[in-house]
């Protein structure tokens, strides 16, 4: 049994048929690192910069974890990280809409992720609920188990096989996350009155449009 068979096949695809997709994701992480630097360079200017920068950093590492699990054909398990990434994104929105909310973090009185989502009228309620039920917490729901039970004859599937379609779907989700994080980083910089937000906003738009074409998303 080769534990890394799916990863090896995914890596081979990313060097050949999905080389353009690989380059797009690498660019996304590079752009996100640049956004993190913009906050880190101003971390002494106040807690808003430190908190937003650290949130972006945590999101960046979580996104990398999602990427890694996707290479191992563990897309369903990666759903737990996707839910966490949504929380990172929505926290940035929550802070950007009212920068004084940073004090809630300093006082260790930050509302729950669900209450923060309500405060910003978040658009991911249904997705967060789905991921909470089927990915973030262990349960025997059909959607959390169907990849283990392909047919009655096979019993259950221990090793998740590589398919290019599944990989494209999962890294397409990752692309969407990176795009949202870049756009919200720009919004936070704008709220803080930092001129670099204009450059980052333009870069995020170009990146989004490029990715939509590569993934053939309408």
Tell me whether residue 92 is in a domain.
Answer: no
Choice among 71-75, 180-184, 214-218 with the minimum mean pLDDT: 214-218
- Which band of pLDDT confidence, cut at 50, 70 and 90, is reported for residue 206? very high
Structural domain harbouring 151: 5-77+139-214
CA distance 193 to 126: 33
CB 98 within 8 A of CB 116: no
**Does residue 14 fall inside a structural domain?**
yes
pLDDT greater than 70 at residue 209: yes
175: nearest Cα among 139, 144, 214: 214
DSSP per position, 69-121: HHHTT-HHHHHHHHHHHHHHHHHHHHHHH-GGGHHHHHTT-PPPHHHHHHHTT
pTM, entire model: 0.86
Quick check: is 107 in a domain? no
Regarding predicted confidence, which is higher, 5 or 218?
5
Please give the radius of gyration of the chain, using alpha carbons only, rounded to the nearest integer: 19
C-alpha angle 53/59/65, rounded to 5°?
Answer: 145
Mind listing the pLDDT tens digit for each residue in 47-95?
A: 999 999 999 999 999 999 999 999 999 988 888 899 899 999 999 999 9
Instruction: Assess if residue 25 is contained within a domain.
Output: yes
87 in a structural domain: no
Token reading at 66: 């999602």
| 111 in any annotated domain | no
Residue 128 belongs to a domain: no
Nearest to 212, CA basis, from 171, 169, 172: 172
In a domain, 117, yes or no: no
What integer pLDDT is reported at residue 218 of this predicted model? 67
What lies within 8 Å, CB to CB, of 110 at 6+ separation is 104, 116
Q: Give the pLDDT confidence of 114-172 residue by residue, as tens digits.
A: 899 999 987 776 666 666 665 554 555 655 555 555 655 566 666 778 899 999 999 99
pLDDT of residue 1: 62
Domain count, the chain: 1
60 in Cβ contact with 69 (< 8 Å)? no
């Amino acid at each position: 049994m080769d534990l890394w068979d799916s990863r090896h096949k995914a890596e081979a695809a990313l060097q050949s048929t999905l080389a353009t997709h690989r380059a797009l994701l690498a660019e996304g992480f590079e752009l996100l690192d640049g956004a993190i630097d913009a906050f880190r360079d101003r971390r002494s200017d106040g807690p808003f910069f430190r908190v937003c920068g650290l949130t972006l950093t945590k999101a960046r590492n979580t996104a990398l974890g999602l990427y890694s699990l996707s290479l191992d054909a563990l897309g369903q398990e990666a759903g737990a990280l996707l839910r966490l990434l949504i929380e990172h994104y929505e926290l940035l929105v929550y802070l950007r809409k009212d920068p004084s909310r940073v004090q809630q973090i300093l006082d260790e009185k930050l509302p729950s992720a669900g209450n923060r989502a309500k405060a910003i009228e978040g658009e991911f309620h249904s997705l967060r609920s789905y991921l909470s039920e089927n990915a973030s917490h262990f349960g025997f729901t059909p959607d959390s188990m169907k990849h283990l039970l392909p047919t009655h004859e096979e019993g259950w599937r221990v090793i998740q096989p590589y398919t290019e379609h599944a990989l494209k779907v999962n890294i397409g989700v990752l692309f969407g996350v990176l795009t949202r994080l870049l756009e919200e980083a720009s919004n936070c910089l704008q709220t803080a009155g930092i001129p670099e937000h204009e450059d980052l906003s333009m870069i995020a738009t170009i990146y989004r449009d490029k990715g939509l074409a590569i993934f053939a998303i309408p």
